Amino acid sequence: MNILLTGATGYVGGRLLRRLGEKGLRVRCLARTPEYLRGRLGTDAEIVRGDVLDYESLVHALAGMEAAYYLVHSMGSVHDFEQLDRAGATNFAQAAKKCGLKRIIYLGGLGETDVELSPHLRSRHEVGEILARYGVPVVELRASVVIGSGSLSFELIRTLVERLPVMITPRWVSVKAQPIAITDLLDYLIEALTIEVLDHQIYEIGGQDQVSYGELMTEYARQRGVRRFMISVPLLTPRLSSLWLGLVTPLYARVGRRLVDSLRHPTIVHDPDTARAFNIRAKGVREAIAEALRNEDQGFTETHWFDAVSAAGLERNWGGIRFGNRLIDRRVAELHGTPEEAFKPIQLLGGETGWYAANWLWRLRGFIDLLCGGVGMRRGRVHPTQIRVGDAIDWWRVEAYEPNKRLRLAAEMKLPGRAWLEFEVEGNGGHSTIHQTAMFDPVGLLGLAYWYLVYPLHALVFSGMLRGIVRAAEQSK
């Protein structure tokens, strides 16, 4: 079977790609930035450049395919995500019809259809309806909270419990959900390739237990061997809740507002008979959390919820934007040591290591970015020592990487323009040179004003960072 996979850079899609590869299936991945996907997941999948908002690219990607996974959503968008979801689903369904696709497998969300749902849940249901509107059979799996190392929900629970002995909790903490383990969700997605489908079939899937977020946190705390106390404050609004989550957890305030708005609604399975069409025995909450903790304790998770670039809200189209002249801050340092020794501290940048100078300024800038709806500094690193193109490192995204030679980071913070930070190492024998370059494409006068206002701090931070890298390289010899 020839399969098109959308959302392969995301949390679920990345893991599904690996599972599909293990089964020997032929997979073609649709990616807006193929460089972020190529080589990351160790499969032989074909990668094509495309976007669900670009109809012609979808026709090209779907040509010759028999089934397709639609794992795309725009909740992290800075724009009207409902409109983007609507447009993407319409393009995909029309292109699928034109290419003679035999089935679409769509991962949506649980939620009662006879109540006023949040915009996020309402959009998830609407996307399923649009995908089925043009005649291609659709298998729609509706799921609730996904429990797995690196998932948004698990990271939310883990961070709150680990950091807060006493929690002031809003009303949504008591709302019921039916969590599903990521391994079970992947089993459902795989089996959906072969299940019989004639039109548009909706399957409500979930784990064995219906629990609240509060009960999930209590169970997590029990398994971690810690005691936590929760004090309910029902007056906390969704906006205040999202800001609170943004301060304490890796969740961005923009994503948090939309997520919290959805958490007000129960997401439980009302029609369990539909899931009986699958030969799957889903885990309960206790087993799902234990499984996630086993992976978490390994210190490295296969995929994270923030792996998808869309999670940072950077889908902005810069076409037609008039940038000013590119502004560059370039610094050079030499040291006694091999290029491998010189590059080692660069390889460790961000996360627990920090940025080798004025880390408090980095944290302050991250806090300001978080308040403005940006990603802040909470993401850290996916792995403490390894780097792949497409990885998130604090507020940066790895755009280019050559071991022991080059690292280029693209900024994902809120800025009046585009920014990069690049390191290049060259040398022979026992002598090496490090080139450190900060680049900024300003948009209009605001962009220029931003650069020159913060330039004194940049001079302090960037010069200190380069000295710190040299110092760390010499000490590690």
Burial class of 2 by CB neighbour count within 10 A (0 to 12, 13 to 18, 19+): middle
Pick the last residue of a domain from 277, 310, 343. Answer: 310
If one compares 337 and 104, the residue with the highest pLDDT of the two is: 104
In a domain, 319, yes or no: no
Task: Please tell me whether residues 339 and 439 are part of one structural domain.
Answer: yes
* pLDDT computed for residue 299 by the predictor: 45
CA-CA distance, 181 to 208, in Å (whole number)? 10
How many domains would you assign to the chain?
2
Task: Enumerate the β-bridge partners of residue 69.
Answer: 5, 105
pLDDT mean across residues, the chain = 83
Host H or E run for residue 89: helix 81-98
Nearest to 363 by CA among 381, 378, 385: 378
User: Looking at the structure, do residues 356 and 430 belong to the same domain, yes or no?
Assistant: yes
Give the pLDDT score at 205.
94
Q: Are 368 and 394 found together in one domain?
A: yes
Res. 26: pLDDT tops 50:
yes
- In this predicted structure, the answer to whether residue 116 has a pLDDT above a threshold of 50 is yes
Considering the domain boundaries, does residue 444 fall inside one? yes
Q: Provide the pLDDT confidence category of residue 211 given band limits of 50, 70 and 90.
A: very high
Residue 344, domain member (yes or no) = yes
CATH number reported for the structural domain that contains residue 385 in this entry: 3.30.530.20
What are the C-alpha distances in Å from 371 to residues 82, 294, 367, 413? 23, 33, 6, 11
User: Is residue 286 domain-shared with residue 164, that is, in the same domain?
Assistant: yes
Q: Is residue 41 part of a domain?
A: yes
Q: Are residues 39 and 103 both part of a single domain?
A: yes
Mean per-residue pLDDT, 122-136: 92
If asked whether residues 439 and 347 sit together in one domain, one would say yes
List, as one string, the DSSP characters of 13-67: HHHHHHHHHHTT-EEEEEESSHHHHTTTS----EEEE--TT-HHHHHHHHTT-SE
Classify residue 372 by its DSSP letter. T
Which segment of 199-213, 304-318, 355-369, 389-403 scores lowest on mean pLDDT?
A: 304-318
> What are residue 427's phi and psi, to 5 degrees?
170, 170
The order of strands in the sheet holding 396-402 is 327-336, 431-442, 417-428, 406-411, 396-402, 392-393
Q: Which of 310, 336, 358 is the last residue of a domain?
A: 310
Q: Average the pLDDT over 56-79 and give the result.
A: 84
**Mean pLDDT, to the nearest integer, of 381-392?**
86
Contact indicator for 261, 120 with CB cutoff of 8 Å: yes
Average pLDDT over residues 31-50: 77
363 — pLDDT class (breaks 50, 70, 90): confident
Which residue has tokens 């393009």?
A: 91
In a domain, 237, yes or no: yes
Q: Is the pLDDT of residue 262 over 80?
A: no
More confident site: 160 or 385: 385
190 plus 43 within the same structural domain: yes
Q: Span 139-164, mean pLDDT?
A: 85
Is 304 found in the same domain as 345? no
Asked whether residue 256 carries a pLDDT value surpassing 50, the answer given is yes
Q: How confident is the model at residue 219 (pLDDT cuts 50, 70, 90)?
A: very high
Share of residues in the chain with pLDDT > 70 (%) = 84
Query: What token pair was written down for 105?
Result: 């497998």
Residue 195 has what pLDDT?
Answer: 92
Q: With contact defined as beta carbons under 8 Å apart, do 122 and 82 qualify?
A: yes
Highest mean pLDDT (candidates 360-364, 445-449, 473-477): 360-364
**What is the full DSSP assignment across 105-153?**
EEEEE---TTS---HHHHHHHHHHHHHTTTS--EEEEEE-PEESTT-HH
User: In this structure, are 138 and 196 located in the same domain?
Assistant: yes
> What pLDDT, on the 0 to 100 scale, is given for residue 236?
65
The pLDDT, as a whole number, for residue 218 is: 92
pTM recorded for the entire structure: 0.73
Per-residue model confidence as pLDDT tens digits over 174-207: 889 999 999 999 999 999 999 988 899 999 999 9
155 and 191 share one domain:
yes
Does the structure show a pLDDT above 80 at 216?
yes
> Is 318 within the bounds of a domain?
no
Average pLDDT over residues 63-78: 81
Q: Give the per-residue SS3 of 104-117.
A: EEEEEECCCCCCCC
Q: Does residue 315 sit within a domain?
A: no
- Check pLDDT > 80 for residue 364: yes
Question: Which range of residues forms the domain containing residue 425?
Answer: 324-475
My answer on whether 267 and 357 are in the same domain is: no
> Is residue 26 domain-resident?
yes
Domain finish residue from 310, 339, 355: 310
